[in-house]
Amino acid sequence: MILVLVMLLAIPAVAPAAEPAALTPHWSVEVKGGFFYPDIENWKDFYGDDRTGHYAGSLAYKLFRQLEVGIESGYIKDRGRAYAPLNALITGNVVYEVVPVNVFVLIRGVFSETQWLVPYVGGGWTRMYYREKIEDQATVRGSADGVHGRAGLQILLDNMDPHAAHNLFTDYGIYHTYLFGEVQVMDVKVGTPSINIGGKSYLAGFLFEF
Amino acid sequence: MKPSSLHSLFYALFTAVVLLLPSPAAAITRVVAQTSGQCPPVTATTICYLSFQDAITNAAASGDTIEVLPGTHSVVNMTVNKSVSIYGIETARTVLNGGGSGTILTISGVSASMSIRNLTFASAGTAIAVQNSSSIDIRNNIFEAGTSSTAISVLASPTTRIFNNTFYLNGNGITSTDTNLNIINNAFYQISGATAISPIVTLPAIKNNLFFGGTIGPLVLTVTSMPFSSDPYFSNVDWKGNISTLDPLFVSTSSTDVTLRDFHLLASSPCITAGDTSVGSNNVGDLSGTDIGAYGGQSDRIPNIVSAVSGVASASTGTITDTITLSWSPNNAYTTKGYNVYYGKDTSYTGADAIVSGVTMTSPIDVGTAVSVILTGLTTSAATPSAPVLYAPEPRNESLVLSWSAVPGATNYILSYNLASAPSITFTVDAGKTTSYKLAGLANGTLYTISVIAIAQDPYYLAVTAYDLASLAGDPGVQDESDYSVVQKVYVGTPGISGPSNSVQGLPEVLVPYPNLPNTGCFIATAAYGSHDASAVRLLRKFRDSRLLTNGPGRAFVRWYYEHSPAAATYLNEHPALKPFVRAALAPAVAVAIVTTQASPLALAMAALILIALTALFAYRKRSRRTYQPLGIKP
């Protein structure tokens, strides 16, 4: 299985890529969405599910084809309940929002501009802004620093429809379009004793190189 | 063959021919409604449609009539090429809306006579375009096409008659290529610079119109747009019966809702009987003359709906409430002659038990021109409802969320609560008809005991109509009487009261979000004092919770502070040298927090006295300085 994957990575696409694919773009933008699994115990008791939506976008610059640096911002939101300690009840409404801002370095396993599958791995610094809107009470807000790591696989779409890829280049200057899936892990500790408000995200999206 | 036989044969043949000839199709009234519930019963001559387009383009034949029921109908770029007369049931509330562009109605190639009347045309590039037609009457309509739009455009249709319409704030009132249109008895209320009629047409055809430039500018007319022989500016010229510069004095144009504007005339309007009677005398108001505007001449004969109606129940004997005071805003149209009050135990308004001024009156009650009436002696027989079941309360910050089971027949619920430590002092709250309620204004950490009772009372339903002809009253919204006002539902009579529900106890408290994260960097005080747990910060927090979050202005301040404090706190943390100054600046706030959250009432009174004394001393010293300085003497 691994051997097959390595072969796939190494073999350039059979179909000729769109004309601009021969060039090596530096910039890329990605938009993605998926699920965020908070690394907080008993999350499900308060929010009804062990996951919530995670939407993000990033801008990256490729120093060279295998190494890129960038910045990413996301948005995570869930609606749940609060805790009434004197009554020992889960009650009241809370809107929990998190905005992670990641600065990252990414290593991509790309050896050809027409390579079908591109694995990547990376990580970096995270600043997590949080806000908790509590029914009838003041909003809690703050931020904390942490780290994150991410790994995924990009699938080059240009070869599936070279005509469309060509149009994307001529109309918008987009050299390559990838569909990708990734796993992202954030570790951001807050308070004493500390709570990790990070977690694990499973994301999918599109990446445009220009 | 005998002559008599020939005669018989001829008669038989003639009869056969007559019977075999197709009979002329009967004219059909095609009703346009917004909902099927509005539709009248379908007959051989009455068919109902839920679309204006279906009624006109898909069904109508020459000779039919299109009856548009009240409501706002979206009509865009509709072409009529058959002689079908189109009329609304009530001018003000029967709106053809063009959606802001295009032409609402285009009358094209119609040579037989037809009319368009009693409609309000709103929001269009052009409201009505008449092309290559003849004998078209456009009358008793309201045009509000828009300040950059045209109300009526006439092209190669020389015998078009436009009379008794109201043009309100259109870019162009009437544009035409023809020279002998009849433009009579119209009220043009235009903004300054807008054109009432363009281009010039034969002088005798424009008569008895009113032109007014609104409140923005002096006048809409220009010497090239109107055939006045002398300068019409500010001159109130009365030429061919046309009137300029005078406000038509409509009843009300203030509402932003086109259906709530009332273009009927006030009693002092210059439009009253100022019209030309050749197009018909008024059918309401002054029957001997003709008014200018949409409600002059042969108008729709339905007054506008009475507005701002309120019905309030009041107790007349002890706790038994059998009296309703009903009041409403007057309908100021000069044609309004009085009001009918409809009442009953449902909206069929068949009440017969109300006493007005000592006389039992059956619904509807004609109250003349009065704008309020007191109904007494209203009888009800509400059954005693069963007790509701009160569920365990949900705690909130300084409040409890309560819910209970619905009780059949209950019209409202009364909550009773007291501090568990002081059961003899009970407070009550009318929760209305809902089965949940947030009991606010409670003290955190204090145990409350709550119960609820159900109340059942019978309602009376009341509505008011205006009429312009008393003898025909009793048919709201059809003729000479407005449609019903907004219905008032008022509960009266001896209430049926349930026993109390089960009692529950609740403990309000500050909720803790999950996860319980620190409120970092958001408070200037935290930054200035260096710790979230500093005593001064705790005092300010207590002041926030007990004095600010308990009232609207306080909550607004807290919201504002939370929005703006992070940046200041961040700046303070980055410039720690400023912290002593900020602490000094916060000292008065901390002092106020100490006084208001820690001090006893006696101490508060003492503090107030000291503050007053200091203020007086300061004022005295300042006044003394002013006295001495002019004399050069130092105080």
Interface-testing mutation among B436, B439, B512, B563, with chain A (most A C-beta atoms within 10 A): B512
Superfamily of domain B394-457+496-506: Immunoglobulins (2.60.40.10)
Closest approach of A191 to chain B, Cα-based (Å): 6
DSSP-derived 3-state class of residue B241: coil
Check CB contact under 8 Å for A190 and B558: no
Q: Is residue A17 one of the residues assigned to a domain?
A: no
Check CB contact under 8 Å for A87 and B562: no
Q: What's the rounded Cα separation, in Å, for the pair B264 and B276?
A: 18
Q: What's the rounded Cα separation, in Å, for the pair B450 and B401?
A: 11
Confidence of residue B531 (pLDDT cuts 50, 70, 90): low
Closest residue in A to B556 (Cα) is A138
Residues 499-518 of B with CB under 8 A from A: 507, 509-518
- B-chain residues near A42 (CB < 8 A): 514
Question: Residue B568 is inside which H or E element, if any?
Answer: helix B552-574
Rounded to 5°, angle at Cα B180 from B175 and B113: 90
**Residue B72 pLDDT more than 90?**
yes
Check CB contact under 8 Å for A81 and B519: no
Count of the separate structural domains present in chain A: 1
- A-chain residues near B510 (CB < 8 A): 137
Q: Using CA atoms in the order B514, A85, A136, B551, what is the torsion angle rounded to 10 degrees?
A: -150
Q: Out of A94, A142, A197, whose CB is closest to B519?
A: A142
Check CB contact under 8 Å for B514 and A46: yes
Question: Which pLDDT belongs to residue B235?
Answer: 45
Is residue B90 within 8 A of residue B118, CB to CB? The reply is yes
Would you state the structure tokens that stand for residue B509, as one six-digit string?
């408290």
Closest residue in A to B560 (Cα) is A138
User: Would you give the DSSP letter of residue B470?
Assistant: G
Confidence of residue B623 (pLDDT cuts 50, 70, 90): low
Q: Is residue A195 one of the residues assigned to a domain?
A: yes
In this structure, of B55-59, B287-291, B376-380, B389-393, the range with the lowest mean pLDDT score is B55-59
Q: Which residues contact B109 (CB under 8 A, 6 or more apart)?
A: B81, B131, B132, B133
Beta bridge partners of B324: B313, B375
* Structural domain that includes position A97: 24-209
- A-chain residues near B558 (CB < 8 A): 138
Q: Out of B395, B514, B519, whose CB is closest to A87?
A: B395
Where are chain B's structural domains? 28-69, 75-279, 310-381+460-493, 394-457+496-506, 524-598
Closest approach of B506 to chain A, Cα-based (Å): 9
pLDDT in tens, B84-105: 999 999 999 999 999 999 999 9
Would you state the structure tokens that stand for residue B328, as one six-digit string?
């409403």
Interface-testing mutation among B391, B507, B517, with chain A (most A C-beta atoms within 10 A): B517
- A-chain residues near B522 (CB < 8 A): 141-142
**Residue B281 pLDDT more than 70?**
yes
Q: Out of A91, A141, A195, whose CB is closest to B519?
A: A141
Q: Which residues contact B317 (CB under 8 A, 6 or more apart)?
A: none
Check CB contact under 8 Å for A191 and B518: yes
Q: What's the rounded Cα separation, in Å, for the pair B189 and A108?
A: 72
**Residue B218 pLDDT more than 60?**
no
Whether the bond into B218 is cis, omega within 30 of 0: no
Q: Which residues contact B228 (CB under 8 A, 6 or more apart)?
A: B221, B237, B239, B242, B244
Between the alpha carbon of residue B163 and those of residues B139, B166, B211, the distances in Å are: 5, 9, 14
Q: What's the rounded Cα separation, in Å, for the pair A139 and B123?
A: 45
- A-chain residues near B549 (CB < 8 A): 137-138
The verdict on B393 touching A (C-beta cutoff 8 Å) is no
Superfamily of domain B310-381+460-493: Immunoglobulins (2.60.40.10)
Confidence of residue B57 (pLDDT cuts 50, 70, 90): confident
Q: Is residue A138 one of the residues assigned to a domain?
A: yes
Interface-testing mutation among A97, A137, A196, with chain B (most B C-beta atoms within 10 A): A137
**Residue B49 pLDDT more than 70?**
yes
Check CB contact under 8 Å for B519 and A140: yes
Chain mean pLDDT for chain B: 83
* Residue B589: other Cβ atoms inside 10 A: 14
Q: What's the rounded Cα separation, in Å, for the pair B455 and A92?
A: 29
Question: Residue B607 is inside which H or E element, if any?
Answer: helix B601-628
Q: What's the rounded Cα separation, in Å, for the pair B268 and A143?
A: 69
**Residue B146 pLDDT more than 60?**
yes
Helix residue spans in B70-145 (DSSP H)? none
**Residue A3 pLDDT more than 60?**
no
Taking alpha carbons only, the member of B46, B40, B119, B42 closest to residue B78 is B119
Handedness of CA B361, B365, B367, B373 (dihedral sign): positive
Check CB contact under 8 Å for B514 and A80: yes
Check CB contact under 8 Å for B514 and A89: no
pLDDT in tens, B220-278: 444 344 444 443 444 444 467 788 778 899 999 988 899 899 999 999 999 999 999 99
pLDDT in tens, A88-113: 999 999 999 999 999 999 999 999 88
* Residue B89: other Cβ atoms inside 10 A: 22
Beta bridge partners of B71: B94
Question: Which pLDDT belongs to residue B202?
Answer: 53
The verdict on B395 touching A (C-beta cutoff 8 Å) is yes
pLDDT in tens, B402-415: 999 999 989 889 99
Check CB contact under 8 Å for A86 and B507: yes
DSSP-derived 3-state class of residue B107: strand
Question: Which pLDDT belongs to residue B366?
Answer: 94
Residues 49-78 of B with CB under 8 A from A: none
Q: Out of A136, A137, A195, whose CB is closest to B515?
A: A195
Confidence of residue A10 (pLDDT cuts 50, 70, 90): very low
Interface-testing mutation among A135, A194, A195, with chain B (most B C-beta atoms within 10 A): A135
- A-chain residues near B556 (CB < 8 A): none
Is residue B122 within 8 A of residue B258, CB to CB? The reply is yes
pLDDT in tens, B356-383: 999 999 999 999 999 999 999 888 778 8
Q: Which residues of A touch B (CB under 8 A)?
A: 40, 42, 46-47, 80-87, 89, 91-92, 94, 96, 130, 132, 134-144, 190-191, 195, 197
Closest residue in B to A198 (Cα) is B515
Would you state the structure tokens that stand for residue B420, as one six-digit string?
């568990």
Beta bridge partners of B360: B355
Q: Pick the residue with more confidence: B16 or A72?
A: A72
Confidence of residue A8 (pLDDT cuts 50, 70, 90): very low
The verdict on B391 touching A (C-beta cutoff 8 Å) is no
pLDDT in tens, B293-310: 999 999 999 999 999 999
Closest approach of A197 to chain B, Cα-based (Å): 8
Taking alpha carbons only, the member of A101, A96, A74 closest to residue A203 is A74
Q: Pick the residue with more confidence: B11 or A206?
A: A206
Taking alpha carbons only, the member of B88, B147, B163 closest to residue B120 is B88
Closest approach of B430 to chain A, Cα-based (Å): 21
Rounded to 5°, angle at Cα B418 from B416 and B423: 115
CATH no. for residue A90?
2.40.160.20
Tell me if B310-381+460-493 shares its fold with B394-457+496-506: yes
SS3 per-residue string spanning chain A: CHHHHHHHHHCECCCCCCHHHHCCCCEEEEEEEEEEEECCCCHHHHHCCCCEEEEEEEEEEEEECCEEEEEEEEEEEEEEEEEECCCCEEEEEEEEEEEEEEEEEEEECCCCCCECEEEEEEEEEEEEEEEEEECCCCCEEEEEEEEEEEEEEEEECCCCCHHHHHHHHHHHCCCEEEEEEEEEEEEEEECCCCEECCEEEEEEEEEEEC
Q: Out of A91, A138, A195, whose CB is closest to B562?
A: A138
